[in-house]
Amino acid sequence: MSQRETWATRAGFILAAVGSAVGLGNIWQFPFKTSEYGGATFLVVYLVAALGIGLPAMLAEFVIGRKSNLNAISAFERLGHRNWKWVGVLGVGIGFWILSYYSVVGGWVLRYIGGSLTGAYFADPASYFGSVSAGLDALVLHAVFMLLVVAIVAGGVEDGIERATKLMVPSIVVILGALAVWVFTLSGASPGYVYFLSPDLSQLSLSVSFDPFPSFSGPLTNVIPFAVSQAFFSLSLGMGAMITYASYVGEDQSLFGDSITVVVLNSAVGVLAGLVVIPLLFVQGVEPGSGGAGALFISLATAFAELPAGRLVGAVFFAVVLIAALSSAISLLEVVTSYVVDTYGARRPRVAAVLGGLIFLLGTPSAWDTAWLTWFDTLAYQLLLPLSVLGVLLFAGWVYGRPAVAELLSGSSFGQGVGVTWLWLARTVVILAVLLTLWLGIQTLFVDGAIVPPL
């Protein structure tokens, strides 16, 4: 086995973890899912889930990664629990699955950089999205995006990933912030803020009956699986990414502090994107929920068409989104690559290229027809992500247990009490919340028939 790399600096790890977390999940998916599944209600559930489930689950992944110093699959073996390898396998598989369509959306972003510069979408943003989001165009750009990802991962941890993410977060915050201020000045935006920011308390209810299986009803049944999984997706959990990144971290670093930074920054970027996209949808008279996967692209394109210097602003904006998407996609490919490199000692560039090719193939249906993209995405949200996070929590909480607390506290100034509290929360309420999410997700998948592929 070759010598394992580590992050050059402490900031390197945080930046890479934030780079993995902040991506299309925040800028593209969060606003459109929020406008589709309940506005402020979605926001509340998402924020509660990010802090209440995401944070403890992220700590669990960090512990597994740093203690084992290995990739997301071998980690379980190294910690002495071969039988739990499936959690790692599941995570790596989900990473594969998700990257396949993530890359298609990454291709759309590439397209929109060019489209902004030339003003190609200015005349009719909606039909422009329709014509570039599927078919041959989308396929070619999906390939280009995947090539970029492979090229960076091939370069290795320090040179490739660390460097690529350094400028991204500040630029995203600045550009989104400026856009949010501009949107605020538009007339017709205020119902958008109400929809996004003021929760209707009557919508925050869920009731259960047993006959003999639990059956849930109430407004939250639909919101929970999407909003909780949105938190997982957005925080890069359940895909081995945080396990893998933490495996390059030293024992002198506080995992607690780092995870809080990641959760807070990540949610902030999502909310900021929501503050831009959702009021814009209202300004443009788009009904909440009808924007779909194109919501970000169509609403922003319409805005850039009207802005002074819209071509430049648009191109810069989509360039930043591209960097965010790349730094997330890199971490997904890195998970699988690091497993193959660690286990078979194969050469990193070749491994990255072969895996990238396979992921490209898996993504071809999604590039061809957005109905496939939606299907891949729904399955990931309603089933795969909660299942995988459940596996991580069961392992860290119940199987690994006490040693996890020691590992968690190593390098931090927190006392034993904090570690033990984490352990007990992870073992109980957090696991129950994930079980509920999974149950509701499965209910919609099978009852609503979302499981049927769009053949």
Evaluate whether 357 touches 144 at the Cβ level (below 8 Å): no
Stretch that binds ligand PHE, among 286-294, 328-336, 352-360, 395-403 (CB under 6 A): 328-336
Using rule CB under 6 A, residue 68 touches ligand PHE: no
Residue among 237 and 409 whose Cβ is closer to ligand PHE = 237
**CA-based radius of gyration for the chain:** 21
The site map against ligand PHE for 182-221 (x = CB under 6 A) is ----------------------------------------
The least CB distance from residue 432 to ligand PHE, in Å, is: 24
41, 133, 221, 234: residue in contact with ligand PHE (rule CB under 6 A): 234
Q: List the alpha helices (DSSP H) in 284-384.
A: 295-306, 310-344, 348-368, 370-379
Between CA 90 and CA 388 the distance in angstroms is 6
For the bound state, the minimum distance from the C-beta of residue 447 to ligand PHE, rounded and expressed in Å, comes to 27
Give yes or no for residue 23 binding ligand PHE (CB under 6 A): yes
Cis? peptide before 212, omega within 30° of 0: yes
Q: Tell the smallest beta-carbon distance from residue 346 to ligand PHE (Å).
A: 22
Binding of ligand PHE at residue 431 (CB under 6 A)? no
Residues facing residue 209 across a β-bridge: 215
Q: How far, in Å, CA of 189 to CA of 196, rounded?
A: 11
Tell me if 145 contacts ligand PHE by CB under 6 A.
no
Is 278 an interacting residue with respect to ligand PHE (CB under 6 A)? no
Report the alpha-carbon distance of residue 103 to residue 126 in Å, rounded. Answer: 21
Nearer of residues 41 and 328 to ligand PHE, judged by Cβ:
328
Could you say whether residue 366 binds ligand PHE (CB under 6 A)? no
Question: Among candidates 368, 381, 367, 371, which has minimal Cα distance to 453?
Answer: 371
88 binds ligand PHE (CB under 6 A): no
Binding window for ligand PHE (CB under 6 A); candidates: 9-17, 19-27, 362-370, 420-428: 19-27
Of the pair 32, 233, the CB lying nearest ligand PHE is at 233
CA distance 366 to 363: 5
CB 230 within 8 A of CB 23: no
CB atoms within 10 A of CB 403: 13
Contact call for residue 91 and ligand PHE (CB under 6 A): no
Report the residue from 87, 148, 332, 436 that binds ligand PHE according to the rule CB under 6 A.
332
In the complex, the smallest distance separating the C-beta of residue 72 from ligand PHE, rounded to whole angstroms, is 11
- Site size for ligand PHE (CB under 6 A): 14
Residue type, 182: W
- For residue 134, the SS3 value is coil
* Contact residues for 452 (Cβ-Cβ < 8 A; gap 6+): none
Choice between 223 and 265, CB closer to ligand PHE: 265
Cα dihedral across residues 375, 381, 387, 392: positive or negative:
positive
Instruction: Give the position of tokens 């006392």.
Output: 415
CB of 102 to ligand PHE, least distance (A): 7
Determine contact, residues 430/393, Cβ cutoff 8 Å. yes
Element (H, E) at 248: none
- 108 sits near ligand PHE (criterion: CB under 6 A): no
Helices (H) and strands (E) in the chain, counts: 23, 2
DSSP string computed for 211-234: SSSEEEESTHHHHHHHHHHHHHHH
Interface residue with ligand PHE among 13, 14, 20, 279 (CB under 6 A) is 20
* 120 vs 115: CA distance, rounded Å: 5
Q: Rule CB under 6 A: is residue 32 a binding residue for ligand PHE?
A: no
Q: Is 21 in the site for ligand PHE (CB under 6 A)?
A: yes
Part in contact with ligand PHE (CB under 6 A); list of ranges 214-222, 231-239, 429-437, 441-449: 231-239
233 binds ligand PHE (CB under 6 A): yes
Q: Per rule CB under 6 A, is residue 318 in the interface with ligand PHE?
A: no
Point out which residues bind ligand PHE (CB under 6 A): 20-21, 23-26, 233-234, 236, 239, 241, 328, 331-332
